[in-house]
Amino acid sequence: MSENFTDWLRERSEPDWTAVVEHPFTDALFDGSMPDEYMSSYLVQDYQFVDDFLALLGAAVAKADRYASRLKLAGSIAVVTSEENTYFQRSFEALGIVESDRVDPELDPATVAFRDLMRDTRDNGGYAEILAVLTVAEWTYLEWAVRAPAKPDNFVHAEWIELHANPDFQEWVTWLRSELDRVGAELDERERARCLRLFQQATKCEVDFFNAHWD
C-alpha cells in the first residue's frame, strides 16, 4: 500500500466520517445555539462512553507490541482521568444534572451500541483493531473541534471544544495515527479488512451518538 493505512481507512468510511466532523450538533456548540437539554443528555451519555473508552485504552496498553507504545498509551490515560473528569463534574453542576444521571443513567441505544463495539474489541481484538477504534474516536473529535471559528462564552461549550482542539490533543492523534500506520503495514489483507470493518463501525457509532442528541 503506497498510501497511509489511516488515510485508506478514513476514505473508506465516507460519507459517515464527514457526517461526524460536520455534524449540526458541533455547529450549535460553536455558535451558542445549543439547547441545554441536548448538551445535558449528550454529556450524561458521554460520561458513560468515557468509562468504556478508558477500558479500551487499558487493553491497548496490555496488547501493545513495545514498551515505547505502552508508555505513550499509559500517558493518555492520565489525561482522561484528570482534566476531563473535572470538566464533566463542573458541567454537570452547571447544567443541574441529578446524581442518578451522573452515576447510573438509562443508556441510550447509541451509547449501548458504541459500548458493545468497544467491549467486543477490547476482549477479542488485537492491538491493530483496538487502535482502529481508538483512532476513530480521537481523530473525529479533533477534526470537528478544530473547525470552531471562535471560543463560545459558555464554559460548558468552550471547554468541550478546547479539550479536543489543543496542541497536546493534536499531537496525541498524530501519534495514534502513526502507530496504526506502523502496525497496519505489517498486517495481511484479512487483518486489514477486519480493521476497516471496525473503523467503519466506529465511525457509524459516532454519527449515531451525535444524532441521538440532535433532531
Ligand X SMILES: Cc1ncc(C[n+]2csc(CCO)c2C)c(N)n1
Q: Which residues are catalytic?
A: 206
Q: How many CB atoms lie within 10 A of CB 166?
A: 14
138 is in an annotated binding site: yes
141 or 192: CB nearest ligand X: 141
- Closest to ligand X by CB, 137 vs 180, is 137
On whether 83 is known to bind a ligand per the annotation, the reply is: no
**Residue closest to ligand X (Cβ):** 137
Give the three cell numbers for residue 177: 495515527
Q: Is 104 annotated as a binding residue?
A: no
Residue type (1 letter), 170: Q
Cell matching residue 21: 466532523
- For residues 59 and 53, what is the distance between their CA atoms, to the nearest angstrom? 10
Q: How far is CA 198 from CA 116, 130, 147, in A?
A: 12, 9, 26
Do 19 and 205 form a contact (C-beta atoms < 8 A)? no
The minimum distance between CB 170 and ligand X, in angstroms, equals 12
Question: In the complex, which residues of this chain contact ligand X (CB under 6 A)?
Answer: 46, 49-50, 53, 76, 79-80, 84, 137-138, 141, 164, 206, 209
CA distance 111 to 43: 11
Toward ligand X, which CB reaches closer, 113 or 187?
Answer: 113
In whole angstroms, the minimum distance from the beta carbon of 138 to ligand X comes to 6
Nearer to ligand X, 17 or 209 (CB): 209
Q: What is the closest distance, in whole angstroms, from the C-beta atom of residue 102 to ligand X in the complex?
A: 16
Quote the CA–CA distance of 105 and 97 in Å, as a whole number. 11
Minimum CB distance to ligand X, residue 122 (Å): 14
Contact between residue 145 and residue 161 where contact means Cβ atoms under 8 Å apart: yes
| Interacting residues of 108 by C-beta distance below 8 A, sequence separation 6+ | 41, 45, 212
Rounded Cα gap, residues 182 and 5, in angstroms? 8
Residues in the annotated binding site for substrate: 46, 84, 138
Residues in the annotated binding site: 46, 84, 138
